[in-house]
Amino acid sequence: MERIYLDHGATTPPHAEVVEAMLPYYRQYFGNPSSVHSFGREARRALDESREKTALALGAAPEEIIFTSGGTEANNLAIQGVIESLSHKGSHMITSAVEHHAVLDTMNKMSQKGCSLTVLPVDRCGMVDPHELKKAIRDDSVLVSIMTANNEIGTIQPVMELAAICREKGVLFHTDAVQAIGNIPLNLKEVPIDFLSLSAHKLYGPKGIGALFIRKGTKLGKLMFGGGQERKLRPGTENLPAIVGLAKAIEMATADIPGKSKAVAALRDRMIEKLLEKIDAIQLNGHPEHRLPGNVNISVKFVEGESLLLDLDLKGVAASSGSACTSGSLEASHVLMACGMDQQTAHGSLRLTLGHGNTAEEVDYTVATLKDSVERLRGMSSLYRDYRRQVEKKRNIGEEKTCTTKK
Amino acid sequence: MYNKKVMDHFQNPRNAGEMLKPSGVGEVGNMKCGDIMKIFIKVEDGRIEDINFLTFGCGAAIASSSMLTELVKGKTLEEALKITNTDVAENLGGLPDAKLHCSNLAADALHKAIEDYQSNNPSA
Ligand SMILES: Cc1ncc(COP(=O)(O)O)c(C=O)c1O
Ligand code: FES
């Protein structure tokens, strides 16, 4: 059976060129970049070049890039690091309700330890309102962390505006750009971001490697203690093959973003349009316009998400869901709930994230397959029967509210 | 995540659907994750001659409903009432720990359907 991968939000297949670029650093160039001898110097050269490439892709300077073990560590380092370095100024932090757990849980831990925390709400489409941010900033605020784009519903935040507000008020701004880099253009020369987290495996690179951008002149505490690597902010012998892979991946991912995004967005729009046309009682989650090019997130009413995922998987389609039943904790996705969704609608949520390898045929096959799966599962769902009976009585399906559309 | 037997019951559920004139109906909702299971029984001479289910829930919930109907069909009310939540999970060859609560729904819904039948037919 041919399988269709529609879970690029979870991870992406590494490019062949990326894997090729990494292999020599597992074989002949195995030296430790800190060693004085020629083996070490070869490794050091590759490390320096990788940092330069990564910086160039972001519009940053090489000394502003710290390699980490991934997005999670980059987020932790930024948040915990600021709390430590700015404890004399204050300990109030601001974030949004739709952040990844690597941000939210870190912030919550900090607040248990005595920091104060403001979690900004979002609108139905998952957008933060810059006015809310302005109001939330206090004299003792030290850090604002708001993601560039959401991993579940794909909503792109007005980061330019949010960063500018923080700069004006003299508060540091961090953004989790793990889902954004390579999908939307972002130049750190133009946006006053102080910290930015990224992860290689979301941009066709290897897993277990990421980076934190730290704007020049910004002080940061550290999480770990040890050697002098990564300006002492991230001690430990560097994972050089992965770093080389990250550099290659980000170089490729940031070349011609508009062209590549347009192709993926066309597939996304084709899928959304066909789904809404072919399946009744479904809704699109997230923002209609400000969304990642590969993100489709729908709620299929009267069907539970895990059973939908299983059925799709049996037919070769790989997707994900924010249903309570798919999470170990049996709680529906905090992102969908923050958008004001009711439990039952969150239950039937399905995320299909497209990538560069997907085709229009795959989109069409997926829509047809999904339609079959939905019909099969609805056939067993008592809720759907009740709904059909109601519809037959009076045709009125759900309410439509509009979203704030921001540039 | 799920074993072959669970996947078989998920893919080819037995006795799924609505029953037109049931002798008893039992519906239970899951407080934990919001799932709903409905069991319909047709009772003749103290025996469950036919049984159907409708379930809005995860793969384990659907497989458990299906397994329950297989276990119950043809049994007397007395025998059926002895079927426990663990019986359903065991007959499925086990479920992941996080999914055990889904199999609980099935037996609970059956017991409710039997109660419903008994309250409709006080003499039975
Ligand atoms: C928005 C966001 N932040 C952080 C992470 C964590 O990144 P990593 O898996 O590299 O630790 C992810 C990936 O799951 C993500 O989507
Ligand atoms: S019914 Fe929700 S986890 Fe099984």
Q: What is the tens place of the pLDDT at every residue in A234-276?
A: 999 999 999 999 999 999 999 999 999 999 999 999 999 999 9
Rounded to whole angstroms, the Cα distance separating A404 from A125 reads 8
**Looking at beta carbons, which residues of chain A come within 8 Å of B11?**
314
Binary contact (A381, B32; C-beta < 8 A): no
Binary contact (B56, A302; C-beta < 8 A): yes
Q: What's residue B31's pLDDT?
A: 67
Rounded to whole angstroms, the Cα distance separating A183 from A149 reads 10
Q: Where are the domains of chain A?
A: 4-9+257-399, 16-253
CA atoms within 13 A on the CB side of A248: 20
Strands B24-29 and B36-44: antiparallel
Q: Could you check whether A4-9+257-399 and A16-253 share the same CATH topology?
A: no
Confidence of residue A392 (pLDDT cuts 50, 70, 90): confident
Rounded to whole angstroms, the Cα distance separating B34 from A158 reads 34
Pick from A33, A38, A69: nearest CA to A49: A33
Pick from B41, B50, B52, B55: nearest CA to B113: B41
Q: Tokens 């529609």 label which residue? A: A6
Rounded to whole angstroms, the Cα distance separating A402 from A124 reads 8
For the Cβ of A325 lying below 6 angstroms from any atom of ligand 2, the answer is yes
Among B32, B33, B36, the residue with its CB nearest the CB of A382 is B36
Binary contact (A325, B18; C-beta < 8 A): no
For the Cβ of B57 lying below 6 angstroms from any atom of ligand 2, the answer is yes
**Among A65-69, A281-285, B27-31, B68-72, the least confident range:** B27-31
**Residue of chain A with shortest Cα separation from B14:** A380
Probe residue for ligand 1, chosen from A7, A178, A209 as the CB with the greatest number of ligand atoms within 8 Å:
A178
Spatial neighbors of A281 by CB under 8 A, at least 6 apart, are A300, A301, A302, A384, A387, A397, A398
| CA A80 remoteness from chain centre | 20
Q: Which CATH superfamily is domain A4-9+257-399 in?
A: Aspartate Aminotransferase, domain 1 (3.90.1150.10)
For the Cβ of B33 lying below 6 angstroms from any atom of ligand 2, the answer is yes
Q: Is the pLDDT at A398 greater than 70, yes or no? A: no
Q: What is the pLDDT of residues A166-189, one digit of tens each?
A: 999 999 999 999 999 999 999 999
Q: What's residue A30's pLDDT?
A: 98
What secondary structure does DSSP assign to A165-208, as a single string?
HHHHHT-EEEEE-TTTTTTS---TTTS--SEEEEEGGGTTS-SS
Distance A180 CA to ligand 1 centre (A): 11
What secondary structure does DSSP assign to B101-113, as a single string?
HHHHHHHHHHHHH
Binary contact (B34, A347; C-beta < 8 A): yes
Q: Which residues of A are annotated as catalytic?
A: 325
CATH class belonging to A16-253: alpha beta
For the Cβ of B106 lying below 6 angstroms from any atom of ligand 2, the answer is no
**Distance (Å) from the alpha carbon of A378 to chain B's nearest alpha carbon:** 8
Rounded to whole angstroms, the Cα distance separating B116 from B114 reads 5
Q: Is the pLDDT at A403 greater than 70, yes or no? A: no
Q: Cβ atoms within 10 A of the Cβ of B79, count?
A: 14
For the Cβ of B95 lying below 6 angstroms from any atom of ligand 2, the answer is no
Q: Is the pLDDT at A407 greater than 50, yes or no? A: no
**Beta bridge partners of residue A297, listed in sequence order:** A351
Residue A362 has phi, psi (to 5 degrees) of -65, -40
Q: What's residue B35's pLDDT?
A: 85
The minimum-distance atom of ligand 2 relative to the CA of B105 is: 1
What is the mean predicted confidence (pLDDT) over A143-153?
A: 98
**Distance (Å) from the alpha carbon of A312 to chain B's nearest alpha carbon:** 11
The minimum-distance atom of ligand 1 relative to the CA of A9 is: 16
Q: What is the pLDDT of residues A31-42, one digit of tens each?
A: 999 999 999 999
Buried/exposed code over A311-338 (b: 16+ C-beta within 10 A; e: otherwise): bbeebebbbbbbbbbbbeebebbbbbbb
Rounded to whole angstroms, the Cα distance separating A362 from B28 reads 39
**Residue of chain A with shortest Cα separation from B2:** A310
Q: What's residue A327's pLDDT?
A: 80
**Residue of chain A with shortest Cα separation from B26:** A382
Binary contact (A382, B54; C-beta < 8 A): yes
One-letter-per-residue 3-state SS of A257-314: HHHHHHHHHHHHHHHHHHHHHHCCCEEECCCCCCECCCEEEEEECCCCHHHHHHHHHH
Binary contact (A303, B56; C-beta < 8 A): yes
For the Cβ of B30 lying below 6 angstroms from any atom of ligand 2, the answer is yes
Q: What is the pLDDT of residues A297-318, one digit of tens each?
A: 999 999 999 999 999 999 999 9
Question: Which residue has the CA at smallest separation from atom 16 of ligand 1?
Answer: A151
Q: Is the pLDDT at A213 greater than 50, yes or no? A: yes
Distance A223 CA to ligand 2 centre (A): 38
What is the mean predicted confidence (pLDDT) over A389-393?
A: 84
Confidence of residue A404 (pLDDT cuts 50, 70, 90): low
- Contact yes or no for A101/A87 (Cβ under 8 A): no
ipTM of predicted assembly, 2 dp: 0.93
Confidence of residue A344 (pLDDT cuts 50, 70, 90): confident
Residue-wise pLDDT tens for chain B (124 aa)?
899 999 999 999 999 999 999 999 999 987 667 789 999 999 999 999 999 999 999 999 999 999 999 999 999 999 999 998 899 999 999 999 888 888 888 999 999 999 999 999 887 5
Q: Tokens 């309700």 label which residue? A: A97
Residue A36 has phi, psi (to 5 degrees) of -80, -30
Cβ of B96 under 8 Å from any chain A Cβ? no
What is the mean predicted confidence (pLDDT) over A43-49?
A: 98
Q: Cβ atoms within 10 A of the Cβ of A229, count?
A: 18
> Residue A69: nearest ligand to its CA?
1
**Between A401 and A154, whose confidence is greater?**
A154
Q: Tokens 């009740």 label which residue? A: A386
Pick from A53, A37, A390: nearest CA to A244: A53
* Number of residues that make up chain A: 407
**Looking at beta carbons, which residues of chain A come within 8 Å of B55?**
380-382
Q: What is the pLDDT of residues A9-21, one digit of tens each?
A: 999 999 999 999 9
Q: What is the pLDDT of residues A184-211, one digit of tens each?
A: 999 999 999 999 999 999 999 999 999 9
Predicted structure pTM score:
0.94
Spatial neighbors of A144 by CB under 8 A, at least 6 apart, are A93, A94, A95, A133, A137, A162, A166, A171, A172, A173, A174
Strands A317-318 and A4-5: parallel
Q: What's residue A358's pLDDT?
A: 98
- Contact yes or no for A294/A151 (Cβ under 8 A): no
Q: Which residues of B are annotated as catalytic?
A: 33, 102
Q: What is the pLDDT of residues A248-259, one digit of tens each?
A: 999 999 999 999
Q: What's residue B98's pLDDT?
A: 86
Among A314, A332, A383, the residue with its CB nearest the CB of B56 is A383
- Contact yes or no for A285/A297 (Cβ under 8 A): yes
Average pLDDT, chain A: 95
Distance B96 CA to ligand 1 centre (A): 26
List the structure tokens of A377.
């599962």
Q: What's residue A388's pLDDT?
A: 86
Rounded to whole angstroms, the Cα distance separating A36 from A15 reads 33
Q: What is the pLDDT of residues B113-123, one digit of tens each?
A: 999 999 998 87
Distance A177 CA to ligand 1 centre (A): 9
Among B16, B18, B57, the residue with its CB nearest the CB of A307 is B57
**Looking at beta carbons, which residues of chain B come within 8 Å of A342?**
none
For the Cβ of B35 lying below 6 angstroms from any atom of ligand 2, the answer is yes
